[in-house]
Structure 1
Amino acid sequence: MAASPAPADTRRDAPALSGCIIAFNEADRIADCIASLAFCDEVVVVDSHSTDATARIAADLGARVIQRPFDGFRSQKQFAIEQAAHDWVLCLDADERVGEALRTSIEAERARGFEDAAGYRFARLSEYFGKFLRHGNAYPDRVLRLFDRRRGGWRGKREVHEAASVDGPVRTLSGDLIHYPYRSLEAQLQKTQRYARMMAEHDFARGKRATLGKLILSPAWRFWRGYLFRGGFLDGWHGLVYAYVRANYVRQKTIMLWLLQNGRAIESPKESQPGRHVKD
């Protein structure tokens, strides 16, 4: 009796895939991030000269580690994909992991050669102090992270709240990118204040201006849109706290823009330190 043919190697002819991560002082999270990219052909970690064991852990796990001074989230991510050995790239932050369902979706598309798509978006599911938020402004929070770098990348001038874009069709995959954004409430408040400053400076440079109406109404709208109209209340007290903190971010950003347009400083010189890299 003839032997049955061996199962086809679904990856043999599939496009090669590079996992790209940017990191700074992520020794407690980088290993799980890299482990979730085990299906990639390589993992590239661009480290901003961490002072902890981030780079060593990444290298020990087989990642190719490249040191580069941090000059903005968008710039750092674009640099990372430019260093990749392959044109199809999957971009993660160190506080993110590819969930099992998402991995299955990615591998299925890869087996088909990523045909008819220049990139893929998928939902991001964020953990918030012991609970995954599945409603409100927090979810599905779809992000474009898997794409052909020959047809796109981390483009534009905005270094905060950066987003990749591609020239061509973008498809949505099932499954979640698991996100662990905050180690503590204090860390979240520090991040939101830093992001508010960066966005206010970006908007001011582009000629955008705050108004009294925006100062009063925008934070309230952000809260009620997420908490009530998008169902954030279904996440219990976690959803309430999240909605309040995000509304406060809008308030801070608008106040800072107001100060800038009126010629007032929004931070003291001693707080302006190079190399700060805290990713939301």
Structure 2
Amino acid sequence: MSSSTAPIERPRISACIITFNEADRIADCLASLHFCDELIVVDSFSSDDTVAIAQAAGARVLQRAFTGFRNQKDFAVGQARHDWVLCLDADERISPALCQAILAARDAGFAGHAGYRFARLSEYFGKFLRHGNAYPDRVMRLFDRRRGGWRGAREIHEAASVDGAVGTLHGDLIHYPYRSLMQQLAKTQRYAQMMAEHEYARGKRATLAKLVLAPAWRFWRGLLLRGGWRDGWHGLVYAYVRANYVRQKTIMLWMLHNGAAVSDPVKPPR
């Protein structure tokens, strides 16, 4: 008497990306997602060729005003035709090793898991950072949207979560976060303000001790305890800039608590 096992139905994957003026990066991002069954780009009315490039790559492009990182990504997931979604930013790429790991998990039916995390490897002005606070920086970007998604109220440093087991896949998500140092400094200052305002609204307050110690702890933890020094001057500069982010966020939280202005007041139209 013989028996046969029914083949596992291969789940389909929808890739979801949000964009704004990413003409120089979106093509490589989408090319790395060649194994996905659907490409969705939610664009915030880019003024460059982002939309045309994405459409030429086979993506379904939707236009939507930007309402926050978490909210925009949640909207993108909601437009997917398939329940398993892979969410990337335009400055990220799936490495060949990670691609193979995702395909293996998919061919096994994503059995036993509601989502998967993997390491993110960031390029920093000509060098990939493999130590310090920069790596492995694991993120969960592949998940079953029926069991989770981009939940919560935080629109900055947003993270997806699921109800169920989360597996870890081999391979790196390649990240090209900064076009220049000035762009990084402007970005971290903007994020620091958004995070300070979020924490203040939730009742969090900065103390004098945190104001003094938190930036120093972030710097030395990344540079020494986590081996950021192994990345040479790139690791040193990265540690300084990330410590400066903590300093800015904590100062802004302190200012908000004490009723001081953090940003310029909005001037009424003349």
> Deviations for 1:222-247, whole angstroms, at most 9, x for unmatched residues?
00000000000000000000000000
**What residue is the counterpart of 1:225 in the other structure?**
221
**What residue is the counterpart of 1:100 in the other structure?**
96
> Deviations for 1:80-126, whole angstroms, at most 9, x for unmatched residues?
00000000000000000000000000000000010100000000000
* 2:189 pairs with 1:189: no
The share of aligned pairs that are identical, in percent, is 74
Query: Greater CA deviation, 262-271 or 183-192?
Result: 262-271
**What residue is the counterpart of 2:249 in the other structure?**
253
Q: CA deviation at 1:269?
A: 3.4
* 2:141 maps to which of 145, 157, 163: 145
**What residue is the counterpart of 2:22 in the other structure?**
26
* 2:73 pairs with 1:81: no
Mind listing any 5+ residue stretches in structure 1 that lack a counterpart? 1-9, 272-280
What is the correspondence of 1:146-161 to structure 2 with a 5 Å cutoff? 146-161=142-157
Aligned letter for 2:65? P
Aligned equivalents of 2:22, 2:178: Cα separation in 1: 12
Aligned equivalents of 2:80, 2:37: Cα separation in 1: 10
Moved over 4 A (4+): none
Q: CA deviation at 1:31?
A: 0.2
RMSD (Å), alpha carbons: 1.2
SS at match of 1:269: coil
Aligned equivalents of 2:256, 2:49: Cα separation in 1: 38
**What residue is the counterpart of 2:111 in the other structure?**
115
**What residue is the counterpart of 1:38 in the other structure?**
34
* 1:266 maps to which of 250, 262, 267: 262
Aligned equivalents of 2:214, 2:194: Cα separation in 1: 18
* 2:122 maps to which of 97, 121, 126: 126
SS at match of 1:70: coil
Aligned letter for 1:105? A
Q: How many residues align?
A: 261
Q: CA deviation at 1:13?
A: 3.4
SS at match of 2:187: helix
> Deviations for 1:112-170, whole angstroms, at most 9, x for unmatched residues?
01010000000000000000000000000000000000000000000000000000000
* 2:49 pairs with 1:53: yes
Q: TM-score, normalised by structure 1?
A: 0.92
Aligned equivalents of 1:33, 1:145: Cα separation in 2: 14
What is the correspondence of 1:167-246 to structure 2 with a 5 Å cutoff? 167-246=163-242
Aligned equivalents of 2:126, 2:56: Cα separation in 1: 30
Q: CA deviation at 1:270?
A: 5.3
**What residue is the counterpart of 2:9 in the other structure?**
13
SS at match of 2:122: strand
Q: TM-score, normalised by structure 2?
A: 0.95
SS at match of 1:162: coil
